[in-house]
Amino acid sequence: MVLVSGAGTNLQALLDACGDPAYGARIVAVGADRDGIEGLARAERAGVPTFVRSLSDFETREGWDAALGVVVERFEPDLVVCAGFMKLLSTDFLARFLTLNTHPALCPAFPGMHGPRDALEHGVKVTGATLFVVDGGVDTGPIVAQVAVPVADDDDVATLHERIKVAERAMLVESVGRIARGGIEVAGRRVRVGRAAD
């Protein structure tokens, strides 16, 4: 199960990888918190079921989160992957579904909505992307995988984020495949991936 809010290029990378049965993972559904986004169109083109649960259709955030949990449960996912999903999920949701998120910075540096911008403003020479197990915080969960990306002198936020996204997609595809084939163990902050396949 993949959750998206936007362009869905990370989703597309997963959809492409799942085209090979040897990859080991299958996307049972794609969910979004808004309609009319390219992420949903990508899923539809791939023949993957989609659903939308918009926060604005619910009176409370708790109601939205519970409704999201109901529809996610229906697909019985082994793993929920937030790929550019721009909403925080409740601890109830996270207790029910093992949920990963990808963030365009090297956690614990530059959490939040503006990872590439904050890295650029700080003047770091290396940034990257992080795949992590979602906990109650903002980009604070146990780290599954990271990839480093150099910052160029003439980068702006768009060029830096685009370079990060190329590396981020490869990291996501590799990690999800290893999890699908070999499992994932989370012990406190330490995560081990793919041991059964090693």
CB of 8 to ligand GRF, least distance (A): 5
Whole-number minimum distance, CB 122 to ligand GRF, in Å?
Answer: 18
User: What are the structure tokens assigned to 44, written together?
Assistant: 């539809």
In the bound state, the residue with its beta carbon closest to ligand GRF is: 84
Q: Which range of residues in 27-35, 60-68, 96-104, 136-144 is near ligand GRF by CB under 6 A?
A: 96-104
Element (H, E) at 51: strand 50-52
Contacts 24+ apart (CB under 8 A), 181-186: 181/24, 184/79, 184/98, 184/144, 186/98, 186/133, 186/142
The single residue among 42, 53, 165, 178 that binds ligand GRF, judged by CB under 6 A, is 165
Among the candidate windows 6-14, 27-35, 43-51, 184-192, which touches ligand GRF by CB under 6 A?
Answer: 6-14
Q: Examine the residue annotation and report whether 114 is marked as an active-site residue of this protein.
A: no
Q: Exposure string (b/e) for 104-136, b if CB count within 10 Å is 16 or more? A: bbbbebbbeeebbbbbbeeebeebbbbbbbbbe
Instruction: Tell me how many degrees the CA angle 70-75-78 measures, rounded to the nearest 5.
Output: 105
Residue 162: phi and psi, rounded to 5, are -65, -40
> Which segment (9-17, 49-57, 134-142, 176-184) binds ligand GRF by CB under 6 A?
9-17
The yes or no reply on residue 27 touching ligand GRF (CB under 6 A) is no
Residue 99: CB minimum distance to ligand GRF, A: 14
Q: Which of 2, 18, 40, 83 binds ligand GRF (CB under 6 A)?
A: 83
Region of 75 (left: φ > 0; alpha: ψ -120 to 50; beta: rest) is: alpha
| Identity of the residue, 44 or 76, whose beta carbon is nearer to ligand GRF in the bound complex | 44
C-alpha span between 183 and 86 (Å, rounded) = 26
Min dist. Cβ of residue 195 to ligand GRF (A): 26
Q: List residues near ligand GRF by CB under 6 A.
A: 6-11, 39, 83-84, 102-104, 165, 168
The catalytic residue positions are 103
